[in-house]
Amino acid sequence: MHTHDFKELSKDRPIEAGPQPAEVALPLRQHIGAPARPVVAKGDVVRRGQLIAEAGGFISAGVHASVSGKVKAIEARPHALGKPVDAIVIENDGRNEWSDGLPGDNDVSALSAENIRAKVQAAGIVGLGGATFPTHVKLSPPPDMPIDSVIINAVECEPYLTRDYRLMLERTADVVAGLRLIMTAVSAERGYIAVEANKLDAYEEFCEAAADFDDISVELLAVKYPQGAELQLIEAVLGRQVPSGELPMAAGAVVQNVATAVATYEACRYDLPLTELVVTVTGEGAGKPGNLLVPLGTPIDLLLAHCEAADNINKLIIGGPMMGLAQYTAETTVTKGTSGIVLLTDAEEYDYGPCIRCGRCVEHCPMGLVPSDLSIVCEAGRVEEMLDHNIMDCKECGTCAYVCPARRPIVHWVKLGKAALARQKARQASK
């Protein structure tokens, strides 16, 4: 589908340093998988880049201090997912002192695939497009799933958000360098940078930066939503479809976000862990929208004050309006999955009705599902029927809810349905 993207609010604002927080709260759950485990205690003095929580398993990611200072507490704090999560709270001493040995200085051309994966894992990098899947896992395909192609997702089709666009323009060479490291890590023969046609300046920058590499292509894609979704991107670039229930690896491809590519380069070149993030703060409720480089754990309300948030905001979204999460409080903090903050002053409220069987959600679903039926079984809590309707194939892109004339909160019900399935699976595993 085609929506107005509202990117004009912040796309021409270069990345700038955001406000320095007096304290940061770093949740132990900033990724898909097991939460991290603290390796520091209240009262410990830490430096920026120091590991403060180790990965809780293979599908997990470590957490590093984003500022230097003293650990104030390890306690439950509000989280963007809607319920409190244990977080390590650090009082910022303002010195910004790096941990010993950081930054490093490495020759990335000499790194092996194993070296690259190890550095990415040590840096606590996750998918920064919003999915937050631990990147080292993506870079470790099983032997029976050889990877021949790596695609850098430079689409950023989510309305309002411009973080990736600014990275494309301001850190073009680092994105290309990150792509080459990812290609080495998975032994891929080809690399692709996929850009939507509404970002011609970024496309031209990438063409120039990749001109010397015969194994990298820059692809200009049609402007539509959700062009940046992994499975749609693989089909658009490679002409391949990922089988139902399978990961992109099954199609011989790995997709990484622009910001993830930059973080991979920094981890391999300088041994830098993920301690800061560029966040777009935008929307009609932002008096001074922008793209801010801030430490992880920065309070959201501090960014709202910096961007002169209006007093009459009636919806605050972490992420974009299609796939982001509306918040009940501004007392959450920036995590690895925070790509943007959207502030709306005139978001309409709707009462939803029963499905009218118009078929618009079926027509627009990029995964070929029947969202109308899926929403009905999820709303009714019929857990046994959710898998019959391929609920796990839903990527929660929001297209169905966007086009629904009955204003049914289809994605909301899908999320609840997936949560119910997870609880059922946990109960069965405990028997």
- Residues 123 and 233 occupy one common structural domain: yes
Last residue of a domain, one of 270, 286, 319: 270
Query: Which residues does 425 contact at the CB level (< 8 Å), separation at least 6?
Result: none
Total structural domains in the chain? 3
The verdict on pTM exceeding 0.85 is yes
Distinct helix (H) and strand (E) counts, the chain: 13, 17
In a domain, residue 350? The reply is no
Segment 270-312, tens digit of pLDDT: 999 999 999 999 999 999 999 999 999 999 999 999 999 999 9
Residues 260 and 306 grouped into a single domain? no
Rounded Cα distance between 312 and 293, Å, is 26
**How many Cβ atoms are within 10 Å of 423's Cβ, its own excluded?**
11
Cβ–Cβ < 8 Å for 213, 190? no
As a whole number, mean pLDDT of residues 321-334 equals 95
Indicate whether 350 pLDDT > 90: no
Look at residue 220 and give its three-state secondary structure: strand
Q: List C-alpha distances in Å: 69 to 57, 302, 375, 396.
A: 27, 19, 48, 39
State yes or no: cis peptide before 226, omega within 30 of 0.
yes
Cα angle 193, 225, 208 (rounded to 5 degrees) comes to: 20
In this structure, the answer to whether residues 154 and 216 fall within a common structural domain is yes
Find the domain containing 396 and state its range. Answer: 360-430
Last residue of a domain, one of 344, 372, 389: 344
Partners of 281 in the beta sheet? 290, 341
DSSP assigned state of 56: S
Q: Are 130 and 241 in contact (CB under 8 A)?
A: no
Judgement on whether residues 92 and 114 belong to the same structural domain of the protein = no
Strands 37-38 and 216-221: unpaired
**pLDDT score, position 193:** 98
Q: Which residues pair with 402 in a beta bridge?
A: none
Which of 207, 237, 270 is the endpoint of a domain? 270
The CA distance from 189 to 150, in Å, is 8
Over 80: is that where the pLDDT of 431 sits? Answer: no
Check whether residue 25 and residue 169 sit in a common domain. Answer: no
**Separation CA 331–CA 299 (nearest Å):** 6
Q: What is the pLDDT of residues 84-126, one digit of tens each?
A: 999 999 999 999 999 999 999 999 999 999 999 999 999 999 9
How far is C-alpha 129 from the chain's CA centre? 3
Q: Is 349 part of a structural domain of the chain?
A: no
The pLDDT assigned to 423 comes to 92
Radius of gyration of the chain (CA): 21
pLDDT reported for residue 217: 98
**Residue at 353 is within a domain:** no
Same domain, 113 and 222: yes
pLDDT band for position 198 (cuts 50, 70, 90): very high
| Statement to judge: residues 184 and 224 lie in one domain | yes
Q: What is the pLDDT of residues 10-38, one digit of tens each?
A: 999 999 999 999 999 999 999 999 999 99
Are 291 and 410 members of one domain?
A: no
Residues 6+ apart with CB under 8 A from 137: 58, 59
Residue 355 is predicted with a pLDDT of 95
Do 30 and 120 have their domain in common?
no
Q: Are 292 and 150 contained in the same domain? A: no
The Cα 47–Cα 257 span in angstroms is 28
- The answer on 123 and 41 residing in a single domain is no
Mean pLDDT of the chain: 96
Q: What are the DSSP E strand ranges found in 147-283?
A: 149-154, 190-196, 216-221, 253-257, 276-282
Q: How many CB atoms lie within 10 A of CB 178?
A: 27
Q: Is 354 a member of any domain?
A: no
- Which CATH number characterizes residue 231's domain? 3.40.50.11540
Least confident of 59-63, 93-97, 179-183, 243-247: 243-247
**Is residue 393 situated within a structural domain?**
yes
**Any domain includes 312:** yes
Say yes or no: 130 and 245 in one domain. yes
Average pLDDT over residues 175-196: 98
Bridge-partner residues for 46, per DSSP? 69
* Cβ 379 vs Cβ 391: under 8 Å: no
CB-side neighbour CA atoms (13 Å) of 130: 26
Residue 147: exposed, middle, or buried by beta-carbon count in 10 A (0-12, 13-18, 19+)? Answer: buried
In a domain, 66, yes or no: yes
**Res. 331 pLDDT band, cuts 50 70 90:** very high
Q: Each residue of 393-411: pLDDT tens digit? A: 999 999 999 999 999 999 9
Query: Is residue 355 situated within a structural domain?
Result: no
Cβ atoms within 10 Å of 268's Cβ, excluding its own: 27
**SS3 assignment for 409-422:** CHHHHHHHHHHHHH
The pLDDT, as a whole number, for residue 123 is 98
pLDDT digits (tens, 9 = 90+) for 217-251: 999 999 999 999 999 999 999 999 999 888 899 99
For the segment 187-213, the average pLDDT, to the nearest whole number, is 98
